[in-house]
Amino acid sequence: MSAFRGASVVAIVLSLGGCHDVGRFSNDGDHYGGSIVSGDFVRAGFDATTQLCLVLDANHLQASPGTISSSDGRFAATPLRTIPQIWHDPLSTLAFGEGRLQNLVYVATPVADVDTGGDVFAVVSLMQSGGVEVRILRGAPVSDGGTSTANVFGIFSLARSGGACSF
């Protein structure tokens, strides 16, 4: 019986190590901002100078997590929409790469007169360093090697900045 208790205590302690307080990522009057990662091999549908701004409420990640804006006008305080079913699926535990506390998958609708390709997925990674990475993706290259006009892929490395988004 005592061996069972000991194993239970070890299991509880180990499970606590997987929990992360992400509340520190919430913005209170400031934002996360940064540039798209350079390199054509990881960019499609975005100009090399595009900037992204994220306002995040880490206390409401499953309901109303925040908004994104971009310097190219594609997003303008655009809400990140949750996919309710994802929180009950193994996809909610998506893990990739080093240094990520949590990866979150959302949907956003670009401004219609700037981007007519429809919704995009936004993968938001809360980094151990305190920064945030955002991947915006939609579509895929067509099978003949060309690219679809709706194909979008961009990785943005963001850092906390004071004040509101400037675009």
In a domain, 11, yes or no: no
In a domain, 4, yes or no: no
pLDDT, averaged across the chain:
88
80 to each of 49, 76, 102, 142, how far by Cα in Å? 22, 11, 16, 27
12-16, 114-118, 121-125, 161-165: least confidently modelled range: 12-16
Determine the average pLDDT of the residues in 96-114: 96
**What's the structural domain count of the chain?**
1
In a domain, 1, yes or no: no
In a domain, 63, yes or no: yes
Q: How far apart are CA 63 and CA 81, in angstroms?
A: 8
Residue 42 is predicted with a pLDDT of 92
What pLDDT digit, counting tens, does each position of 40-91 carry? 899 999 999 999 999 999 999 999 999 999 999 999 999 999 999 999 999 9
In a domain, 5, yes or no: no
pLDDT at 11 over 50: no
| 68 touches 122 (CB < 8 A) | yes
Q: What are phi and psi of 127, to 5 degrees?
A: -95, 145
Residue 14 is predicted with a pLDDT of 33
Q: How big, in percent rounded to 5, are the helix, strand and coil portions of the chain?
A: 20, 35, 45
Of the candidates 69, 57, 64, which has an alpha carbon nearest to the alpha carbon of residue 29? 57
Determine the average pLDDT of the residues in 87-99: 94
In a domain, 93, yes or no: yes
Domain, as residue range, for 102: 22-161
In a domain, 103, yes or no: yes
Q: How confident is the model at residue 145 (pLDDT cuts 50, 70, 90)?
A: low
